[in-house]
């Protein structure tokens, strides 16, 4: 199965538990709106280059579509459809008044100068401007996009509208309507969900062995957050280098080296290994924070963790899910474990609409409350239905909310 087929497979598993009829399931599966755009950008050397972009809105039953924009060479229509679908369920599972959206541009941002990147960002927003707004579809950062790019996009959209529309996009710099806590939100949400699960399962985070695959923003911050609670980070990996140290990674030093050099290659302690090799180490908590499909049929048997917490989108394939279930490995699924980012994006949108901004402590308190509530709803449904794993339970909780909104609106 490709990524999109996998997303549909997970929905079908959940709707089977809920006993929905075929028409209701079909309404859940089909994206409501999809846009493919082609636009030109003038490069620094004077050439004009054509780029392809996408924006997909899976559903707006619960509210405006919401989801990130990624810049990556692998971006294609199926990937964006899958991500928008998963965003619908991610928003619903934590109780946000949003549907799912996602966008992307097929490009290699590492090959673009900053001025080229800005022109590409603005051109993309012009191309999709008719279907997005603070009332219709609210974008956000994703792979290889960041607050600076969100600021450019917000400015371009505001220029088109003739007034400042800070709430059109989230993940912005603080100076133009961003929210405190947004940068660390995905990692904080992961931490709160893991704490909630560990409390139910009788696992102590203090002293727990933690392995983190993927050392970008979410992975590095998660390392700091878990270490601050006394966890022992025994292995980390970015796209090129893995580091294993049973005595514990010096997270502060690793983060400094990664920030300064862009790589973990120069981390001076422990053993250097291939990035994929860190999956085999015995640990209490494994956090895949890189890309989809990194845990699959080829390496799932090697996983030696009590809990896997999916910070990346779709890091475990269905085949690997089955293998982990047989090994009694608990998986906290991405639509829950990585929902901290979109939750604080929601907070940012609310603050933009209010014109009143919260302190970091307020944001953190509200995030923790929502993440605990979401986990407990999933845990309760899992107990009531005896469904096979937390992924099915999470998709079922989300599906119930989306379908109820569809019924109340007379759609199904």
Q: What is the pLDDT of residues 66-106, one digit of tens each?
A: 999 999 999 999 999 999 999 999 999 999 999 999 999 99
Let me know if 401 is a catalytic residue: no
Output the pLDDT for position 387. 87
End-to-end CA distance of the chain: 28
Output the pLDDT for position 31. 95
Q: Sign of torsion, CA 378 380 382 384?
A: negative
Mean pLDDT of the chain: 96
Residue in 66, 102, 258, 401 annotated catalytic: 102
Cα distance between residue 271 and residue 284, in whole Å:
20
Cα distance between residue 201 and residue 257, in whole Å:
35
**Among 54, 57, 81, 70, residue whose Cα is nearest residue 135:** 57
Output the pLDDT for position 313. 85
User: How far, rounded to the nearest angstrom, does the alpha carbon of residue 26 sit from its chain's CA centroid?
Assistant: 25
- Is-contact 158 168, C-beta < 8 A? yes
Per-residue pLDDT of the chain (412 residues; tens, 9 = 90+): 788 998 999 999 999 999 999 999 999 999 999 999 999 999 999 999 999 999 999 999 999 999 999 999 999 999 999 999 999 999 999 999 999 999 999 999 999 999 999 999 999 999 999 999 999 999 999 989 999 999 999 999 999 999 999 999 999 999 999 999 999 999 999 999 999 999 999 999 999 999 999 999 899 999 999 999 999 999 999 999 999 999 999 999 999 999 999 999 999 999 999 999 999 999 999 999 998 889 999 999 999 999 999 999 889 999 999 999 999 999 999 999 999 999 999 999 999 999 999 999 999 999 999 999 999 999 999 999 988 899 999 999 999 999 999 999 999 9
Tokens coding 36: 């493919």
Output the pLDDT for position 276. 95
The two domains 31-176 and 185-337 share their CATH topology (first three levels equal) = yes
Output the pLDDT for position 292. 83
**Among 43, 58, 166, residue whose Cα is nearest residue 103:** 58
Query: Is domain 31-176 annotated with CATH 3.40.50.10860?
Result: yes
Output the pLDDT for position 120. 98
pLDDT tens digits for range 181-207: 999 999 999 999 999 999 999 999 999
Q: E strands along 149-293, which residues? A: 209-213, 232-237, 242-244, 271-273, 283-288
185-337 has which CATH code?
Answer: 3.40.50.720
Domain ranges of the chain: 31-176, 185-337
Cα distance between residue 158 and residue 161, in whole Å:
5
Q: Which helix (H) or strand (E) holds 379?
A: helix 360-385
Output the pLDDT for position 80. 95
- Is-contact 126 144, C-beta < 8 A? no
Dump the DSSP string for 224-240.
HHHHHTT-EEEEEE-SS
């Amino acid at each position: 199965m490709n990524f999109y087929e996998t997303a549909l497979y997970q929905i079908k598993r959940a709707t089977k538990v809920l006993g929905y009829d075929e028409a209701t399931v079909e309404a859940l599966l089909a994206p409501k709106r999809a846009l493919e755009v082609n636009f030109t950008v003038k490069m620094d050397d004077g050439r004009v280059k054509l780029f392809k972009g996408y924006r997909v809105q899976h559903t707006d039953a619960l509210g405006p579509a919401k989801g990130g924009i990624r810049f990556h060479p692998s971006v294609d229509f199926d990937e964006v459809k899958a991500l928008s679908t998963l965003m619908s369920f991610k928003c619903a599972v934590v109780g946000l008044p949003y549907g799912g959206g996602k966008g992307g541009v097929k490009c290699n941002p590492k090959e673009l100068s900053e001025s080229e990147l800005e022109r590409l960002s603005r051109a993309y927003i012009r191309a999709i401007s008719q279907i997005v707004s603070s009332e219709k579809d609210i974008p956000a950062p994703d792979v290889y996009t960041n607050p600076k790019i969100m600021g450019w996009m917000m400015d371009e959209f505001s220029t088109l509208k003739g007034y400042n529309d800070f709430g059109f996009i989230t993940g912005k710099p603080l100076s133009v309507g961003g929210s405190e806590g947004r940068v660390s939100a995905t990692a904080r949400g992961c931490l709160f969900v893991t704490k909630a699960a560990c409390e139910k399962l009788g696992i102590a985070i203090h002293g727990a062995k933690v392995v983190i695959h993927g050392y970008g923003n979410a992975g590095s911050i998660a390392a700091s957050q878990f270490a601050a609670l006394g966890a022992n980070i025994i292995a980390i990996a970015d796209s090129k280098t893995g580091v294993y140290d049973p005595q514990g990674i010096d997270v502060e030093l690793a983060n400094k080296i990664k920030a300064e050099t862009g790589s973990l290659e120069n981390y001076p302690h422990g053993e250097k290994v291939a990035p994929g090799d860190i999956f085999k180490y015995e640990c209490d908590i494994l956090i895949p924070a890189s890309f989809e499909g990194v845990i699959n049929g080829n390496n799932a048997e090697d996983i030696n963790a009590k809990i896997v917490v999916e910070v990346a989108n779709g890091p475990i394939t269905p085949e690997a899910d089955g293998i982990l279930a047989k090994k009694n490995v608990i998986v906290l699924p991405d639509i829950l474990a990585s929902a901290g980012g979109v939750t604080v994006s929601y907070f940012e949108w609310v603050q933009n609409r209010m014109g009143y901004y919260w302190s970091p402590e307020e944001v953190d308190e509200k995030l923790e409350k929502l993440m605990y509530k979401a986990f407990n709803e999933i845990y309760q449904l899992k107990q009531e239905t005896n469904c096979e794993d937390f992924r099915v339970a999470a998709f079922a909780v989300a599906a119930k909310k989306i379908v109820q909104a569809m019924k109340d609106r007379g759609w199904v």
